[in-house]
Amino acid sequence: MSDRFARDLLAWYDQHGRHDLPWHHNRNAYRVWVSEIMLQQTQVTTVIPYFEAFMQRFPDVQALAAAPEDDVLSHWSGLGYYARARNLQKAARTVVDEFGGEFPADQGQLESLTGIGRSTAAAILAQAFGKRAAILDGNVKRVLARYHAVPGWPGQTSVLNALWTHAEHHTPDSRVRDYTQAIMDLGAMVCTRSRPKCEQCPLQDGCTAYAKSEVSLYPGAKPKKAKPEKTTWMLILEDDQGRILLERRPPSGIWGGLWSLPELDPALGADELPEACGQTFGFDCGDAELMSGFRHTFSHYHLHIQPARLQVAAASAVADHSQQRWLHRDEALTLGLPAPIRNLLTNPEQATLI
């Protein structure tokens, strides 16, 4: 192994790296793929219990492909970025239908699957098949940006291309499975976003940013834009049996495909909610009981949620259909719910900032 970068990194990994993560056991393309998708923008400690529960319910790609979408979303509830779960199942069905249930060991074919990009495809090739393939997730971008002092935000095409060049150069021909885990571990454990542990870094001697005492400057920050603020009423409509009404959200967009609470125009006053419920849903409702409001932050805006509880007259409650269901709380909690809605239904008297 001629590259000093890879040699020093692997020596560190052998002594300090993570060798016992759940997806390291019974390692195959399916388990590697699910872990890689879960780990996108999510920390390992958060992912582990989700991964284990997911594998118990969907042990192979066939089980995932055949499962009801609600079941998949329910096992993803709380991880966020729910398009990942929908894309995961869509790709699973493609693997079953077009690849005979076996993941292809080819970069281009892997990238043809919904939700799999260049780095994820490479991780599957390296981790599951032992093939030489360069990865470039968030941790790797940070390590390489600092080591080579690559200026600029990695979201810019020119910066990203420069980082890919370095990633390709340093990826060794041997021990590629260990190398890809090692560079991810270094970014997660040592070359962290804030307060990096440079004194513990095996790459310190060759790190340009460290030599220039400019580690904090790399990678360059994303240009900041103020996030818009939005507001909505969220209604806990309860019938005489103690059931609440849930609505399935559209398949695309925020919380796509998940079950959530009905919403009304935030411009309405609290005293206008009963009449608005009648006009919008056809229900005869009692006065609105306001609950503690809270704010939920998405990647591109803040949403201020004002919950209100309204009692629905028995005669006006409508029957279930594909996009609306009346459920007791314990039943509702088995569905795929956004985290703030799950919290609201679990602790209705203690709606807190999320």
- Residues known to be catalytic: 36
Q: Are 135 and 127 in contact (CB under 8 A)?
A: no
Q: Positive or negative, the Cα torsion across 330, 334, 335, 337? A: positive
Query: Tokens in use for 12?
Result: 């560190």
Query: Tokens in use for 10?
Result: 């692997």
Give the number of other Cβ atoms within 10 Å of residue 333's Cβ: 15
- Please give the radius of gyration of the chain, using alpha carbons only, rounded to the nearest integer: 24
Nearest alpha-carbon partner for 122 in 101, 108, 102: 108
Provide CB contacts within 8 A for 307, sequence distance 6+.
Answer: 233, 234, 235, 236, 261, 290, 291, 292, 293, 344, 351
What span, in angstroms and rounded, lies between the C-alpha atoms of 135 and 37? 14
Query: Tokens in use for 285?
Result: 């409702």
